[in-house]
Structure 1
Amino acid sequence: MMGMNHKEILEELRKKKIDEGLYLPHYERYSIANLMSSVLRHFGLSPLLEPYPLSEIIELNTKDKIVLFILDALGYNLYKRIFNHLKAKFKILGNIEFFPMSSVFPTTTASALTTLNTGLTPLQHGMVGYILFLKEFGLLANMIELTPVGMERDLLIKLGLNPMKFMNNPTIHELLKEGNVGSFTVTASVFKNTGFNRMHTNGSNVKTYQSFSDLFSMIRRILKNNKDEKLLLIAYWGLADTLGHRKGPLSDEYESEVFWILRMFEEEVLNKIPPSIFKKTLFLITGDHGQKPTRWEDEIWLISSDEFCSKLSIPPTGEQRMMYLFTKNKGIFKEFFEEKYKERAILIDSSYALEIGLFGFGEIHSNLIDRIGDFVLLAKGAYSFNYKYTGQERSLKGKHGSLSEDELFVPLIPIG
């Protein structure tokens, strides 16, 4: 430990409370966006935001390589729980202090991975949810699949969407390339040529894997083949999120998935990297967001013909723990909502959301206002609001999107 400790950072994160159990992201210093500015500054480039205090928690002077390993849905509280249960079974991580960060809003992969690959806040990159209204196309789109809701992957590209220009900003890989720093992305083979992945990896050397053994050997190979080069390597593992949704983030299945992928990371990467490369490499493990355990009894299901949706001009967008609401009459809807749902969620006027920095700071993306509607809905407790877009939607045992600690806070595990 060099300066900051995890308790001090956690205290700072909790100062951003906006309602009972809900917190704003800490874009000022302690978010995943700020972490990427730390990476840029470390490699001698201009940070986009105030950098996360990385140099205060680990020695950076000897490091010319950074490996960022992202586990989808690895929340701070979830990792702390696993760490406390299984600390003795880790070979290296059991002795590593970890630190909290906030994710971004909304706490969802579409927004958070875009931030981790650009260093920008959602306000700046415009990827503000899983399901978004894209006014420029006149439709509701699934932003992971880049397609109109319920249709084939990447159909929006056929309709004219250019993944390379969608965010109107360079990726972090392009910025690093300008600074003569190598950039690699290691992701599952099924994602390689998708529009969503191309959007994030422009400027990066993309490698793919079939399984965790393939993933870890690829990381080793990249480090060995570039032993004398400066580089950032971003690796992504997505299955913990899937298990959290289906089995619950407090389930044995989720805990086992996270433990074993980290245990194999210790064994197949940290223990097998030559010492000469290890001493020059900083390994960072984090999540893009966390997950909230949820029950079907706390789900509010919405359909186009019900009273809730009859007061909207288009279906709600976002996802189950947060929504953007485009109303026919703001005053009438707010009065209805406060009467029926105020114990289950809070309603924030979208203009006020921008004012308080819900989406971050910086230059606002040119299409953002069109995507966030009149109100932002934030689910409280373990409640969720589930709209039937296709009729194939189902109950989930773990969800994210809102701003509880379980969803917003993620761990930063530094090794080096």
Structure 2
Amino acid sequence: MSLMLPAIPPSSRSITGVAHDLLGALTGSAAELPPVRSAVLAVVDGLGATQLRSHAGHARRLAGAMTKKDVLSSVFPSTTAAALTSLLTGADPGRHGLVGYQVRDPRSGALVNQLSGWEQAGADPAVWQTEPTVFERAIALGRPAFAVGLPEYAHSGFSAATLRGADFRSARSAADRMAMALSLAEEHEGALVYCYLPEADKAGHKHGVASAEWVAALEDVDAAMPAALPAGVGMLVTADHGMVDVPATRHLIIDEDSPLQQGVAAIAGEPRMLHVYLEEAARADDAAAEWRRETEGAADVLTRDEAVRGGLFGAAVTEAAASRVGDLVVPARGLWALYDGAAEDQRAQGMIGQHGSLSPEELRVPLLRFGAFAR
């Protein structure tokens, strides 16, 4: 078995360093950024470096700020729950514990959708995710901290896990959210302000990154970027992950009568990166061999121990995080996506744009500097 490792040099900067750099800019101690009066972090969900470069004509402000060096590596899995948490804590998934879109709670056996299913699964965000957020660290330094997002995210479990310490504000449009973030940065000396822009990710999932709808969403986000920032305010624009379009011809359906369902207690994760939980964990090696035969060419298959030892979830993995990782970890190759045909909810098969695996299109994201951060 040959694992398709990320095509990113080990020395590449990671999204896990962004929070540290922003706090350093506020205290005048950052090596990468100049001192600023206030700092804004804008995250364009789903906007990979590859997608931005290939659509530069539709994102003149964003693409115009990008050089060849302005690229970061996301984390594995390259999915919102894991990557946004890494951005906002500075920790790899192996430390903060959000190791996928959907994972099994080892205590209850319930599957936890870590974006929207905390309450249904009875998972406590404060217990599940214990790493301090960048907002808590800012408050400890005596700095105001704000998060600007959509109204429906104000009281979600995911927000409770990742936005702790922030004063949450909301606005419906991307332009209004960005304007609010800049106003907060100008009005509150020393503030750290986070602005979340999910429009491109939503359009990509539904229509694909090659679609007119995705291009329109990118244009809206680009138009929301300010022509100028308030004096002394620096802004970083980045993303949690990129995205690939999965054609219907690259759907691998694991039907109810598939041999891959034998001995499987649950399949979680997402189509580009499955967590497979076995009824008997001791069978992991044998199950991995079977999965490798049946998914050859479409996915890599690792046991939990192989994935953890290989550093996929970060250099250090806590016991709690490891307990949520599947007995098998199955990242998709190429443009493939794998689906649990026995699952009740098959809506994922309708998604065109997807992410979660190890391709450069999913892992490489831009890091753009504006205002007082501009070179």
* TM-score above 0.5, yes or no: yes
Pair 1:42–1:311, CA change in 2 (3 A): same
1:60-79 superposed matches below 5 A: 60-61=34-35, 63-79=36-52
Asked if 1:399 corresponds to 2:359, the answer is no
Pair 1:29–1:39, CA change in 2 (3 A): farther
Aligned to 1:323: 274
Asked if 1:169 corresponds to 2:121, the answer is no
Aligned to 2:113: 142
Contact 2:62/2:368 (<8 A) preserved: no
Pair 1:162–1:326, CA change in 2 (3 A): closer
Normalised to the residue count of structure 2, the TM-score between the two structures is 0.90
How many residues align? The count is 364
Is the partner of 2:39 in helix, strand or coil? strand
Pair 1:26–1:208, CA change in 2 (3 A): farther
CA RMSD, Structure 1 to Structure 2 (Å): 2.3
1:223-238 superposed matches below 5 A: 223-226=185-188, 229-238=189-198
Asked if 1:413 corresponds to 2:368, the answer is yes
1:362-401 superposed matches below 5 A: 362=316, 364-388=317-341, 389-393=343-347, 394-401=349-356
Asked if 1:112 corresponds to 2:83, the answer is yes
Give the deviation of 1:396 after TM superposition: 1.9
Contact 2:66/2:367 (<8 A) preserved: no
Is the partner of 1:36 in helix, strand or coil? helix
**2: distance between equivalents of 1:188 and 1:174?**
21
**1: distance between equivalents of 2:164 and 2:61?**
36
Pair 1:253–1:361, CA change in 2 (3 A): same
Aligned to 1:150: none
Aligned to 1:358: 312
User: Which deviations, in whole Å up to 9, do the C-alpha atoms of 1:152-200 show, x marking residues without a partner?
Assistant: xx223xx4x3322321222111111111122110010011011111221
Identity %: 25
**1: distance between equivalents of 2:303 and 2:315?**
17
Is the partner of 1:316 in helix, strand or coil? strand
Give the deviation of 1:319 after TM superposition: 0.5
**1: distance between equivalents of 2:292 and 2:109?**
30
Contact 2:181/2:194 (<8 A) preserved: no
Unaligned 5+ runs, structure 2? none
Instruction: Give the AA of the match of 1:413.
Output: L
**2: distance between equivalents of 1:91 and 1:166?**
38
Instruction: Give the AA of the match of 1:81.
Output: S
Normalised to the residue count of structure 1, the TM-score between the two structures is 0.81
Aligned to 1:12: none
Aligned to 1:221: 183
Aligned to 2:32: 54
Unaligned 5+ runs, structure 1? 1-17, 148-153
Asked if 1:245 corresponds to 2:205, the answer is yes
Give the deviation of 1:208 after TM superposition: 0.7
**1: distance between equivalents of 2:117 and 2:58?**
39
Contact 1:25/1:103 (<8 A) preserved: no
After alignment, is 374-383 or 253-262 more displaced? 253-262
Asked if 1:204 corresponds to 2:166, the answer is yes
Q: Choose the corresponding residue for 1:309, options 249, 256, 261.
A: 261
Instruction: Give the AA of the match of 1:34.
Output: G
After alignment, is 320-329 or 202-211 more displaced? 320-329
Q: Choose the corresponding residue for 2:150, options 145, 165, 188.
A: 188
User: Which deviations, in whole Å up to 9, do the C-alpha atoms of 1:47-82 show, x marking residues without a partner?
Assistant: xxxx8x734xxxx13x12211111110001001111
Give the deviation of 1:225 after TM superposition: 1.8
Pair 1:94–1:100, CA change in 2 (3 A): same
After alignment, is 68-77 or 203-212 more displaced? 203-212
Asked if 1:125 corresponds to 2:76, the answer is no
Instruction: Give the AA of the match of 2:360.
Output: E
Give the deviation of 1:91 after TM superposition: 5.5
Pair 1:41–1:212, CA change in 2 (3 A): closer
1:6-21 superposed matches below 5 A: 19-20=3-4
